């Protein structure tokens, strides 16, 4: 990859972010910010407060023996960890001191929880009017559903996405938590935070961001071709209906000779024609948009044809003719693929304590200020003493805070 245009800075260098959450979507949001150069501090519960059953995927390991576990967990990379009891007056004071010098707060608790602790936007903006404060929640900070518990499958169901995932007349297919947690939640929150930071350059003030997993999913659903016509016609889209929803043979998944699967997306007539010619079935060119039994006949023909070669064979043949085709890879195959190797989607990070670690690379390639992994994930409270010292606490005061349980370190 050519980095000749690199600058001696990062896109978000100088931006300081407080992550106040114990769930992986929030951790992913701040990982994106951290990868782009932001200085991210995880504000975690003191070690004794972290229940084993709690979302360990988003909570740093407790002790030094968890160092290797932490190193492999990419969502906490480029972050430091402060362990503090926010329910105590002294812990709340520490958090507010941090807010005086930080740019962003991301919290992902139940609506109103941070206000009860005295660390909500109203309290924080008083000590720092320039703060950008993002609350990420399932259904938002207002509305009848604001206090409902939920997870990805609930959010995508309520937002109309799960209804569209599957075939007509069949139960919806339960997907991974990509749409609700990571796209609708984490990425929209990151966009909102960066937009508010840009706005601050003009206004001089920060602002509050109410970001909802479900709102994000609704936006995603309404960006799909299936929903484009909804606001005009009032007719909701149906599962498996539409050019890109699996209704037609030209945009579908097919089993191949060895029992694997291949995808084609020959939506445009030129690609469909090229596919038919490659398969020596020119008689199908005029049958791209068949309906009823005729469409099932085309499906049957293509299914038989794709069973005659392996996925690799079909991919080589069709891609050589620039026909939209993709193998259904598992993750191991993704990172063995030379294309993604060259795209640096797997990167090696070296650490003096744990050696060489492989992690996912940067999905956005900035030529001048590319993202990077500067630090592997911390263990709980790893930077507690460093952070407190940076706030002006003396060694004696830090020792007292440890003694009375306000903070903890490994």
> What is the pTM for the complete model shown?
0.93
Count of beta carbons in the 10 Å neighbourhood of residue 70: 21
Say what the pLDDT of residue 301 is: 98
Calpha distance 167→302 (Å, rounded): 19
Domains and CATH numbers, the chain: 16-220+345-408 (3.40.50.10540), 251-336 (3.30.1540.10)
Calpha distance 398→407 (Å, rounded): 8
- Mean pLDDT for the stretch of residues 281-305: 97
Calpha distance 76→24 (Å, rounded): 9
Q: With pLDDT > 90 as the criterion, what percentage of the chain qualifies?
A: 85
Q: Where does the pLDDT of residue 72 fall: very low under 50, low under 70, confident under 90, or very high at 90 and above?
A: confident
- Mean pLDDT for the stretch of residues 298-309: 98
Which among 72, 147, 151, 229 is annotated as catalytic?
Answer: 151
Q: Where does the pLDDT of residue 104 fall: very low under 50, low under 70, confident under 90, or very high at 90 and above?
A: very high
Q: Where does the pLDDT of residue 103 fall: very low under 50, low under 70, confident under 90, or very high at 90 and above?
A: very high
What the block records as the tokens of 326 is 């993709």
Which among 85, 181, 383, 402 is annotated as catalytic?
Answer: 181
Is 337 assigned a catalytic role?
A: no
Containing H/E element for 176? none
HEC readout, 193-205: HHHHHHHHHHHCC
pLDDT at 406 over 80: yes
Tell me the helix, strand and coil percentages in the chain, rounded to 5.
Answer: 40, 15, 45
Calpha distance 294→284 (Å, rounded): 11
Is 383 assigned a catalytic role?
A: no
Facing residues of 351 across strands? 355
Calpha distance 385→394 (Å, rounded): 10
Calpha distance 84→290 (Å, rounded): 64
Q: What is the pLDDT of residues 373-385, one digit of tens each?
A: 999 999 999 999 9
Residues 6+ apart with CB under 8 A from 106: 17, 18, 19, 20, 21, 26, 29, 30, 134, 136, 189, 193
What the block records as the tokens of 47 is 């070690």
Calpha distance 136→338 (Å, rounded): 37
- Mean pLDDT for the stretch of residues 269-292: 97
């Amino acid at each position: 990859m050519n980095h000749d245009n690199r600058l001696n800075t990062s896109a978000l260098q100088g931006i300081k972010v407080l992550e106040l959450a114990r769930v992986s979507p929030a951790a992913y949001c701040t990982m994106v910010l951290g990868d782009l150069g932001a200085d991210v501090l995880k504000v975690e519960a003191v070690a004794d407060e972290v229940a084993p059953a709690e979302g360990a995927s988003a909570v740093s390991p407790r002790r030094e023996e968890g160092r290797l576990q932490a190193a492999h967990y990419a969502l906490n990379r480029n972050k430091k960890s402060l362990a503090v009891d926010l329910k105590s007056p002294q812990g709340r004071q520490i958090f507010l001191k941090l807010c005086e010098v930080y740019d962003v707060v991301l919290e992902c608790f139940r609506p109103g929880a941070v206000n009860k602790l005295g660390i909500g936007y109203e309290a924080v903006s008083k000590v720092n009017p320039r703060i950008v404060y993002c609350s990420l929640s399932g259904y938002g900070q207002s509305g009848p559903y604001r206090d409902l518990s939920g997870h990805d499958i609930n959010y995508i169901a309520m937002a109309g996405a799960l209804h569209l995932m599957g075939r007509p007349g069949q139960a919806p297919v339960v997907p991974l938590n990509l749409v609700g947690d990571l796209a609708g939640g984490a990425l929209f929150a990151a966009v909102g935070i960066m937009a508010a930071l840009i706005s601050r350059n003009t206004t001089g003030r920060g602002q509050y961001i109410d970001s909802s997993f479900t709102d994000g999913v609704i936006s995603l659903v309404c960006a799909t071709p299936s929903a484009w016509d909804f606001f005009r016609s009032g007719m909701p889209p149906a599962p498996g209906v539409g050019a890109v929803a699996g209704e037609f043979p030209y945009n579908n998944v097919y089993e191949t000779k060895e029992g694997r699967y291949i995808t084609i997306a020959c939506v445009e007539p030129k690609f469909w024609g090229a596919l038919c010619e490659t398969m020596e079935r020119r008689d199908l060119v005029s049958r791209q948009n068949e309906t009823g039994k005729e469409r099932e006949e085309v499906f049957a023909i293509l299914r038989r044809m794709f069973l005659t070669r392996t996925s690799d064979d079909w991919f080589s043949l069709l891609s050589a003719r620039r026909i939209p085709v993709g193998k259904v890879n598992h993750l191991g195959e993704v990172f063995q693929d030379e294309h993604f190797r060259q795209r640096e989607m797997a990167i090696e990070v070296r650490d003096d304590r744990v050696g060489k670690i492989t992690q996912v690379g940067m999905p956005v390639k900035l030529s001048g200020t590319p993202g990077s992994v500067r630090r592997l994930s911390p263990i709980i409270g790893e930077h507690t003493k460093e952070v407190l010292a940076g706030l002006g606490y003396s060694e004696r005061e830090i020792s007292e805070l440890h003694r009375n349980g306000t903070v903890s370190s490994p």
